[in-house]
Amino acid sequence: MTKQNNLMWTILILGLVLVAILGVTSKPKIIVNPSSETDTISVSGNAELTVDPDEIEIYIEIQTLEDTAVETKNINAEISDDVIADLKKAGVRSDDIETSNYNLYPKYEWNRVTEESELVGYELRHILKVTHDDIDKAGDLIDVAVDAGANRIDNVLFTLSDEKEKDARDEAMERAAETASDKAKKLTKTLGVSLGKIKTISESTYYYTPYTYRGDALKVEAAGDVPTNIQPQKLDVTATVHLSFEIS
């Protein structure tokens, strides 16, 4: 065997020894990544309660039609001032009377003879929104406005004040949450699992709809001696709550 062959064998043996040593001293890393998520159950609860309104909104219209825009505006302003003054005398605060719509426009009618649209005057519709906290006075306030010159009642709404709406919402949400919690308890008992702590709470919906008395956009000429009688209606308040619980 030549010196060159001896050198090659020596290098080969040293390489094998080095690989063996590294194989003994070096160990592969094992990465463990366990899931931190827990099993959960999600439920929804609904609640509906009926409450009495404690506020009214009356939309009173003063509608005038004259030959010119100026005449229409001036006459409408006079009637509106009378209506507002008499409403204040009836106990409505200034802050509770506001203009919700004011629309002045030329009015045309179709002439069958000439087959053309003809200007018949200028019409102004001034709508006052009147708010009051005595819902039993709805009819009285309508009579006051009509006697003062108003000739149209668009809507009468029975609503909730901010304070009463908050109370109703709190109660509805509380009932909805109790319903959801009871549902979760029954489900886990049926499925044979244990109910843990709450993970998430979310409100899905909350609403109530004011009762609207339209009366076909009641047109009136004068209240006369017969008082207007409008009865308040109860309101439905609805809430939905979503809950998520840990289970084991």
Q: What is the pLDDT of residue 60?
A: 96
Domains of the chain in start order, with CATH, are 53-160+210-228 (3.30.70.2970)
The number of angstroms, rounded, from the C-alpha of 122 to the middle of its chain's C-alpha atoms is: 38
Distance CA 149, CA 67 (A): 19
Q: What is the pLDDT of residue 153?
A: 92
pTM: 0.74
In terms of phi and psi (left: phi > 0; alpha: psi -120 to 50; beta: otherwise), the region of 121 is left
211-213/235-247 β-pairing: unpaired
* pLDDT per position as a tens digit, 14-53: 554 444 444 443 333 323 334 446 788 899 999 999 999 9
Residue 20: count of CB within 10 angstroms of its CB: 10
Residue 85: count of CB within 10 angstroms of its CB: 11
Q: What is the pLDDT of residue 20?
A: 47
Q: What is the pLDDT of residue 11?
A: 52
In the predicted model, residues of the chain with pLDDT beneath 50 are 16-36, 217, 219, 221-223
Distance CA 82, CA 141 (A): 13
Q: What is the pLDDT of residue 9?
A: 52
Which helix (H) or strand (E) segment holds residue 205: the answer is strand 195-208
